[in-house]
A and B are shown apart, each in its own frame.
Chain A
């Protein structure tokens, strides 16, 4: 199972995500990889998400590839300048990684090294342009490469942008990303299918597949935390109440996720499941959703 062929075949694609831990112990990563094999089209590896220092996406993608999964190399612009970004892209390709998700990256002030110097030498749109140039066989200043990669680039979009202007800006940026080569999009977590459907109506003419983000709920506290702190994520009261009343929180969270997936099947090209530490539940979610 892999991303590009699945998308091209028009299959309802399932991707998921792993966030590497802080340290060199890859036991859990390997256990998750075993469980995901054969169940998902691709597995994203986050790039020091939330600006917390962790094991790198590059090494982790390579580990997942070795275990038969199709990795998506998430690459933020927060920590590396254009030299390092181009170099890491070449390194990724040499290690068998083809899917890249070009993102801006959270500010260092939000993470556990707030004293770090933010880089942002490139932004996500410029990074997509760079990936395109490397694919053509040139670095970003026009030097010819000896051996060129063939990346399948993707990007993110936030359909839950919370003001009209913010929403319009997301659409403008999405078009820019497509113009610079983005071939697929993964979104921030969706809990309101109606809002998402409106978004999908606006972008159907763009001709690029969109995978709807799913974050399975684990507790009321988690839902409230996301509502307060995570931009573009809105868990409606109806679902918070369901979690509050649930005896088995994990089971209810899985059910809610599976229901969302079923509703999203007709309006998106796939789903991107972000289990945030509970990756071992992903097969259960897929079972419950009939995938």
Chain B
């Protein structure tokens, strides 16, 4: 899931300066779990912005489970609000950058033929997993998963330096020198490989990573569901 926090209201008001008629779009995916764009937050944002003198033409709440980054769903969700979107001065998108850019390009531009000012209400902070309350970055989508080599612990995300032939000399009391609350990933990898009887893996030289698999922006074409 995409971990996210809501931008400070001051920043949002700066975006919307001079824009009176606003449409809010939430997201039923990660934004609901992280309380940045769920039904509750959309309602709250509508109230807050109204108090600041904005005219909320539509506050589009999206039920939990429906992620706006999946274009077929976003198109259906936004079609009934086409008029309000056409009329508004700005759209405030309460989701991560995936949902934002899908709505902007595939729905508003490609489907409705509209080019409108659109602003983010959210800062995405990492591809995370966990819950119900604590989430932590797990995967950085390197394109070449090496979890099989490291006893199921990803050194790219769990090691602050992303070392493949770790550790560095910086661990103190089994914790990372950058984040004293975080366990040194290499100590975890060592201990898990030991339990699995696979110590050979940590003794092997791992060659340099192929970062061409992370050339931006990546894309893929698949059969529809």
Is the A/B pair a real complex?
yes
Judge if B48 is at the interface, Cβ distance under 8 Å. no
B129 at the interface (CB under 8 A from A): no
Chain B 169-204: CB-based contact to A (< 8 A → 1; otherwise 0): 111111001100000101100110000000000110
Range of interface residues on A (Cβ < 8 Å): 35 or more
- The reply to whether A107 and B165 contact each other, CB–CB distance below 8 Å, is no
A120–B172 CB distance below 8 A? no
| Cβ-defined contact, B205 with A125, below 8 A | yes
When the two chains form the complex, which single residue of B172, B191, B205 contacts A231, counting CB atoms closer than 8 Å?
Answer: B172
A163 touches B208 (CB 8 A): no
Which residues of B have CB within 8 Å of A170?
169
State whether A129 touches B203 (Cβ < 8 A).
Answer: no
Q: Give chain B residues whose Cβ lies under 8 Å from the Cβ of A107.
A: 160-161, 170, 177-178
Interface assignment of B65: CB less than 8 Å from any CB of chain A: no
Q: Are B169 and A158 closer than 8 Å at their CB atoms?
A: yes
- A23: min CB distance to chain B, Å: 28
B162 at the interface (CB under 8 A from A): yes
Q: Contacts A165-B190, A168-B190: A123 and B172 contacting too (C-beta < 8 A)? A: no
Q: Output the least CB separation between B181 and chain A (Å).
A: 14
In the bound assembly, the distance between CA atoms of A28 and B34 in angstroms comes to 54
Give Cα distance in the complex from A109 to B182, angstroms. Answer: 15
The dominant DSSP class at the B interface is loop
Q: Which chain B residues lie closer than 8 Å to A120 at the CB level?
A: 161-163
Residue tally, chain B, CB below 8 Å to A:
30
> Is A44 at the interface (CB under 8 A from chain B)?
no
Residue of B nearest to A118 (CB): B161
Query: Are A166 and B187 touching (Cβ within 8 A)?
Result: yes
Q: Are B205 and A176 in contact (CB under 8 A)?
A: yes
Cβ contact within 8 Å between A169 and B165: no
Compute how far the CA of A32 lies from the CA of B3 in the bound complex, rounded to whole angstroms: 51
Check B203 against A176 for contact (C-beta < 8 Å).
yes
A9 contacts the other chain (CB 8 A)? no
Q: How far is the CB of A190 from chain B (nearest CB, A)?
A: 14
A232 to B206, CA, bound (A): 25
Residue in A104, A109, A172, A188 whose beta carbon sits within 8 Å of that of B163 in the complex:
A104
B164 contacts the other chain (CB 8 A): yes
B168, CB-defined interface residue at 8 Å: yes
Complex: A78 Cα to B173 Cα, angstroms: 23
Across the A-B interface, the 4 shortest Cβ-Cβ residue pairs: A125-B165, A158-B169, A104-B168, A231-B170
| 8 A-B contacts (beta carbon < 8 Å) | A107-B177, A109-B178, A110-B177, A129-B207, A162-B173, A169-B187, A172-B203, A173-B165
Chain A residues with a Cβ under 8 A of chain B: 78, 82, 104-107, 109-110, 118, 120-126, 129, 140, 156-158, 161-163, 165-166, 168-170, 172-173, 175-176, 179-180, 188, 231-232
